[in-house]
Structure 1
Amino acid sequence: MASRIASALRSAALARPATNFAQTAAFQQSRRSFQTSQRMLQDVAPVRKPVGAFRGTIFGFLLGSVIAGSGLYYYVVDEYKVSNELLTEDVYALQSAVQRLEGYVKGLEQEVKSRK
């Protein structure tokens, strides 16, 4: 029986004229029906991997900590510069006051020596 099927297939293949692939594809395409299901007409939404609550919480905490830390760093550096400038001005004011006082004291000492 298997030999009869093989010979029938061979004879059917010989009886059919040889066609190229493009003609066969065009013939099969023209035989298609133009029906589509409701599912095929729907838009395909991209599949998004949901962000878990734990990962979102950790990421949010770290992001917030970094932003708060950087803001605090720049605030502290700015305050340090301001306080350093004020301290430097106070040191220069104290130095000039000490120099004036030293001048007054030397003047008084010279007057005391001259009166004796």
Structure 2
Amino acid sequence: MATRMPSVLRTLALSRPATFTQTQHARRSFQTSRKMMADVVSPSKPIGAFRGSLLGFLLGTVLAGGGLYYYVVDEYKVSNELLVEDIYALQSAVQRLEGYVKALEEEVKTKK
């Protein structure tokens, strides 16, 4: 940094006597309280890598299975509703056809 300063400032900085604040900063030592130096105690037991991966796998499997279950149940409900609709449409078509057949039988009886 001294090489970047202009030569006039460099000579002033070097020729100036050390002040009280400069020597005070040099004499300071690093101090902390006992609280700050105490080890941090974790409140819970750390989970091992094997247990953590097993727990994560099981949790992921349960979530994926639950999502799949709700998806399949929803698809089942939709297909069931469509099937019931088709059954009602077939029933109404059969009733109309039955009505036409009865009407034709009545016409045949009246013509004889």
Q: Where in structure 2 are the equivalents of 1:27-38 lying within 5 Å?
A: none
Say which of 32, 44, 60 aligns to 1:64. 60
Q: Which has the higher helix share?
A: 1
Matching residue of 2:48? 52
Residue 95 (1) aligns with residue 91 (2): yes
Number of aligned residue pairs: 80
Measure how far apart 1:49 and its partner are.
4.2
Q: Percent identity?
A: 70
Normalization by structure 1: what TM-score?
Answer: 0.58
Structure 2, unaligned stretches of length 5 or more? 1-30
Higher relative contact order (CA 8 A, sep 6+): 2
Matching residue of 2:106? 110
Measure how far apart 1:53 and its partner are.
2.1
Measure how far apart 1:110 and its partner are.
1.5
Normalization by structure 2: what TM-score?
Answer: 0.59
Structure 1, unaligned stretches of length 5 or more? 1-36
Larger Rg: 1
Residue 85 (1) aligns with residue 49 (2): no
